[in-house]
Amino acid sequence: MPLPPRRAWLLALLAVPALLLLLLLVLALLNWNWARGPLQDFALKKTGRTLLIAGDLDVSWSWPRPRVTAQEVSFANPAWALAPQMVQAPSVDMTLDLPALLRGRLVIPELRLTRPQVFLEQASGGRKTWLLDLAQTDEAVRIPIGRVLLDEGRVTYIHTADQTAMHVELSTSEPGAAPAALHSLHFRAQGLYRGQAVLGQGSGGAVLAWRDDDKPYPLRVQATLGETQLSAEGSVTSLSQWAALDLQIKLSGDNLASLYPLIGIALPPTPAYRSAGRLVREGTVWRYVGFTGRVGQSDLAGTLQVDTAGTRPLLTGALVSKRLALADLGPAVGGKNTAPALAPGEVAPPATAAVPQHVLPNLPLDTQRWGSLDADVTLKAQTLTRPQGLPLDRLSFHLLLKDRQLSLAPLDFGVAGGQLSATVMLDGRAEPLRGRVKARLRGMKLSQMLPGVELSQASIGVMGGELELSGSGASVGRMLATADGRVSLVAQNGQISRLLMEQVGLHLLEILRFKLTGDESIRLNCLVADFVVAKGVMGTRALVLDTEVNTVVGQGSINLANETLDLTVVPRTKVTSLVALRSPIHVTGPFRQPVVEVDKGTLAARGGGALLLGLLNPLLALVPLFEGGPGVATDCQALVQAAQAPAARP
């Protein structure tokens, strides 16, 4: 007699979970070693590489992620690799995404390797041993893996074209370690990274979570990369991708530019440095927060940020310095810096008498790496340490770099109590490098330009000026050597040393007088130095110093290409002087050692005339040396207006 429909339906409903339960029980009790052969054959067919499971294979069922455990597992490398096996492990434990597997797609949410030997290699043509297609080049043919956990073992990675070969050994805490370290994992790394020797060690959590994108992994590292020393402590989320990190780091080395292989960002060349701060990554943004440090003899502090979301990384930041050594900026602009870094509290040694071969920065600027990033960085320095006699006291600039075009706008210096404001543009796309500078000088005190003159600071006038130059070349020096433009300096209605002007006029009795009685101030009517620059040669349009005692007129040239001076100044006395040699003064020679001397021919003629007349009558000997004045009045207003007129375009 058939069952009623309702009762048949109820029995069928109860039978389904019973059958499922029975199936799970059978699967749980099933000896899965039978599946080793089919799995090995499947791997060989799909990848062309041998998978060997020499130990037991077991499955622990749970929905939706059953767990598979295999013992004594190895998976071969392709034939071109240096090592025969890519992975060898006494135990492999992984979970499977069963819904994805039912759709024909293998996904491993978690993979744990116990005491593995892992050998990964990348070769030419995009070949990578961890890609599972037959040619090892298809990025799409790889098994999606969530977390990769490494418990002890060794990992080797080789990329010949990148000059990288790294070996990492993992180990658990040794017996007798402190209780807090019982579950930590230690590692040692050595090899080459982008051509630089690497040696490091550190510790982390109980198991190395290589691709855990959710849980921060505690990490402590000490490493040396070439001449760079690094120590860091904090946490990293996903060691393979560095999805997020928060580390307190200390960094030191011989040159910030040498960090390029490590960070992929072109920093300027510098002297030896050291720094400490907090390194944080959130998404595409890296921030070096609240760091302090020293570069050469300079201190630096601030925050830097790199955003990698665009086509090029964007570096932004604000830097401050309490004490910035001008020599430390030399390497960044193509100059040399031989000053050693100082320890805290150490005093810089006195300058030596060594004379550099070039005064203008002459080392080529490396513009090839300018395309590696864009930048927007500001720096403010409260005080500058500089060579004695160079009247600079402050510095600030705003640096912009975009598409290999660099600008400093503005670039501000404190100069001799005044301010130099400049705009500098460098086009790294041009070959050779092309540059342009436009500057304005305001409020410069002549007293600070003449520190040897003992006069009151308030009694000296102030100077202003304009500069506009453009040129091309691999270095700053070469750009100046090809420069065209204009340079002009102007001062009016000030005061200047009487002794200085008597010395310029070679008024011997007056020089003796003021040496004995002391100096005094006289009126400075104007000082005009106006040059036209063509192909690196500065030619005088006007070179005049006019005072109530005399007028000094100059002419000649300054060669920026070979760094030489060829100027002649002629003093014209406005006052009566009994003994005035009245000789032109020549300023010649290289920038590094200029020679200032009176005109020997004129001096000999005057001396010879005095000697001959002295033979006739001793009083007549003073006639060639007498200066009666009053000289010719100088039209200062016209000279100043001409010097301040806009420069004509080449």
Three-class DSSP category at 636: helix
Percentage of the chain exceeding pLDDT 70: 74
Is residue 352 over pLDDT 50? no
What does the pLDDT look like over 268-319, one tens digit per residue? 888 899 999 999 998 889 999 999 999 988 999 999 999 989 888 999 999 9
578: left (phi over 0), alpha (psi -120 to 50) or beta: alpha
What does the pLDDT look like over 171-182, one tens digit per residue? 876 545 554 444
Within a domain: residue 415? Answer: no
**The pairing of beta strand 273-282 with beta strand 244-253:** antiparallel
* 437-447 mean pLDDT: 82
pLDDT confidence bin for 347, thresholds 50/70/90: very low
Six-digit token string for 288: 């070096």
Within a domain: residue 75? Answer: no
Within a domain: residue 485? Answer: yes
Within a domain: residue 529? Answer: yes
What does the pLDDT look like over 611-649, one tens digit per residue? 443 444 343 333 333 344 455 456 667 766 665 666 554
The pLDDT value recorded for residue 115 is 93
What does the pLDDT look like over 8-23, one tens digit per residue? 454 444 454 555 554 5
Contact 177, 197 (CB under 8 A): no
Within a domain: residue 637? Answer: yes
Three-class DSSP category at 448: helix
* 117-125 mean pLDDT: 93
DSSP per-residue letters across 302-322: EEEEEE-SSSS-EEEEEEEEE
What does the pLDDT look like over 577-604, one tens digit per residue? 444 456 678 888 998 888 877 755 554 4
Least trusted range by pLDDT, from 110-124, 273-287, 518-532: 518-532
* 329-357 mean pLDDT: 48
Within a domain: residue 127? Answer: no
* Cα 490 off chain centre by: 37
Contact 292, 277 (CB under 8 A): yes
Q: Over the chain, what is the mean pLDDT? A: 79
pLDDT confidence bin for 482, thresholds 50/70/90: very high
* 529-557 mean pLDDT: 88
The pLDDT value recorded for residue 633 is 57
* 39-60 mean pLDDT: 93
Pick 217 or 388 by higher pLDDT. Answer: 217
The pLDDT value recorded for residue 575 is 58
Range of the domain at 498: 479-644
What does the pLDDT look like over 68-94, one tens digit per residue? 999 999 999 999 999 999 999 999 999
Sign of the Cα torsion 264, 269, 274, 279 reads negative
Within a domain: residue 408? Answer: no
Is residue 338 over pLDDT 60? no
What does the pLDDT look like over 201-252, one tens digit per residue? 998 887 777 766 778 888 899 999 988 999 999 988 877 777 788 999 999 9
What does the pLDDT look like over 393-430, one tens digit per residue? 788 999 999 999 999 888 898 877 788 899 999 999 88
Within a domain: residue 442? Answer: no
CA atoms of 237 and 250, how far apart (whole Å): 20
Overall domain count for the chain: 1
Q: Which residues contact 463 (CB under 8 A, 6 or more apart)?
A: 416, 418, 441, 444, 445, 446, 449, 489, 490, 491, 527
In degrees to the nearest 10, what's the CA dihedral of 353, 358, 364, 370?
70
